[in-house]
Structure 1
Amino acid sequence: MTAWQWVKVVGNFLNLSTLAGAFVGVLGRAKFTRGPRGLYFANGYKLGFPVAGAFTIGNVVLSKHNRSYFDDAALVRHEERHSWQYFCLIGLPMLPLYVVGVVISFLLTGDPASRNPFERLANLKEGGYVERPIQPLGKTVTQAFSVLRSRPKGP
């Protein structure tokens, strides 16, 4: 690890974001392993939220997938950038700000990542995202209702 990565590890521990990530991983019954760049991988995450291939809280990268999912160096770089975002935003304020980014991106494009500044700064492509163009709000609303209508009804 570089000296700056050590600074991030210590900072995210002190701002409690890494501890929060570990807590969420324990709740999700994930298996923890040490990764590169000061990251910890929490694989086999069993909770259904959030819906993502991987998500980062502090220096903890959580995923429902097994450890080999992180053999992709670009994905690891993407998730490390998110860990820097926690450092720069002094920890847990990142979570509500990220949600605001998701809402804005969805309203503009019908996609939660395309215009989310946190995903853009972490490199959309390296995170496995496809950039969607800005579209009229009416189209976004129509898409949302279409998805809701197509979901199976409960018992």
Structure 2
Amino acid sequence: MRPYFRFRRVVNWINLSTPLGLLIARVGGATTSPGELGLIYAHGYRYNFPIARAFTVGNVVLTKHQEGLLQGPLLLHESRHASQYAALIGLPMLPFYVLSVLVSVLVCGNPGTYNLFERLANLDDGGYARIPPWWRRRRNLN
């Protein structure tokens, strides 16, 4: 494992975001296993919130799906979220993320398109649609 991923893993343990992610995985009935890029995969998460193919808390990537989903661009996207937790000193990222979701919903009706954290993690890698803001959409005059 590259030194950067080791460093991120340690920071996310210290800032308590990874322990919170493991607690969410346990409550959600997910099965955890070591993953790539210093991440912990949590497959089989049983709740429908949040609405996403996968979501990350600390270094824990949670998904409702079974093994095989967390690879390629989606894995890189979720890895960037783990780095965001390390950079934002852990748990304070959660209210900032919620605020960013609200801004995105107000701007375009989609929780990801104008969410700063999703944009920094690369929208396309996360599978998010690019929806124009409400003020740029053409109005249907029929």
Q: What is the TM-score of this pair, normalised by structure 2?
A: 0.93
Q: 1:113 deviation in Å?
A: 0.4
Instruction: List aligned pairs for 1:28-47, cutoff 5 A.
Output: 28-47=28-47
Q: Does 1:92 align with 2:95?
A: no
Q: Deviations over 1:46-75 (max 9, x none)?
A: 1221121110000000000001111x3111
Equivalence for 1:61 = 61
Q: Does 1:52 align with 2:52?
A: yes
Equivalence for 2:139 = none
Across the aligned residues of Structure 1 and Structure 2, the Cα RMSD in angstroms comes to: 1.1
The one-letter amino acid paired with 1:83 is: A
Runs of 4+ in 1 over 3 A off after TM superposition: none
Structure 1: gaps of 5 or more residues: 137-155
Q: Secondary structure of the residue that 1:91 maps to in structure 2?
A: coil
Equivalence for 1:3 = 3
Q: 1:41 deviation in Å?
A: 0.5
Distance of 1:30 and 1:110 partners within structure 2? 30
Distance of 2:25 and 2:61 partners within structure 1? 9
Q: Deviations over 1:110-143 (max 9, x none)?
A: 110000000000000000111111113xxxxxxx
Structure 2: gaps of 5 or more residues: 136-142
Distance of 1:67 and 1:60 partners within structure 2? 14
Distance of 1:69 and 1:36 partners within structure 2? 13
Q: Deviations over 1:74-113 (max 9, x none)?
A: 1100000000000000001111100000000010011100
Distance of 2:48 and 2:113 partners within structure 1? 22
The one-letter amino acid paired with 2:102 is: V
Q: Secondary structure of the residue that 2:33 maps to in structure 1?
A: strand
The one-letter amino acid paired with 2:29 is: R
Instruction: List aligned pairs for 1:1-155, cutoff 5 A.
Output: 1-70=1-70, 72-136=71-135
Distance of 1:67 and 1:58 partners within structure 2? 20
Identity among equivalent pairs (%): 47
Q: 1:32 deviation in Å?
A: 0.6
Number of equivalences: 136
Distance of 1:133 and 1:3 partners within structure 2? 39
Q: Secondary structure of the residue that 1:13 maps to in structure 2?
A: helix
